[in-house]
Chain A
């Protein structure tokens, strides 16, 4: 799943390590999230969005075609 984590993090001058510490995850998890190699659980997605003061939809880009669903 595509996301804007790296874009938002860099815009706020936050290091991966610091973001990881705030969220209680490892730095490797943040890296994998930013690279799109790992999709977070709904809990982690919610925590990330809340940390940035945004909604989940503003941080994560849900592509229905990628998910195998049909476009409305």
Chain B
């Protein structure tokens, strides 16, 4: 939990730095927009950490949810579905972009899909040895 709060504060601080740099003109607007996202995520995580530490019942609820095997099973399945759908959508998008004459974007998207497949097979080989 302590490591998590450290990471959360890091995101919050990074977000704040990017926003300030954007406001000062050191970086362009897209960086400050990203910083806004980091800051919001970091702030929400910090607030959650504070709530967990102050509220015993909430802390128990979160700990139970984190350890609950059905939640872990659902999370794993959700990631699997997300990965599978990403490849399907990326392949379809790549084809559409190619038809639309956007060759560079098409290659980038299909590269992303290939990377996902490589990650899948690499993970499968590692897990096959482990289990």
Contacts from A to B (Cβ < 8 Å): 20, 24-26, 28-29, 32, 38, 40-41, 43-44
Contacts and interface: CB of A to CB of B under 8 A. Distances in A.
Contacts, number: 26
A53 to B, nearest CB: 22
Which of B67, B70, B73 lies at the interface centre, i.e. has the most chain A CB atoms within 10 A of its CB?
Answer: B70
Contacts of A44: 69
A29 B67 contact: no
Nearest to B61: A26
Interface residues of B, number: 8
A12 B10 CA distance: 50
Interface string B48-69: 0000000000000000110111
Nearest to A33: B70
A28 B70 contact: yes
14 contacts: A24-B64, A24-B67, A24-B68, A25-B64, A25-B67, A25-B68, A25-B70, A26-B70, A28-B70, A29-B71, A32-B70, A38-B70, A41-B69, A44-B69
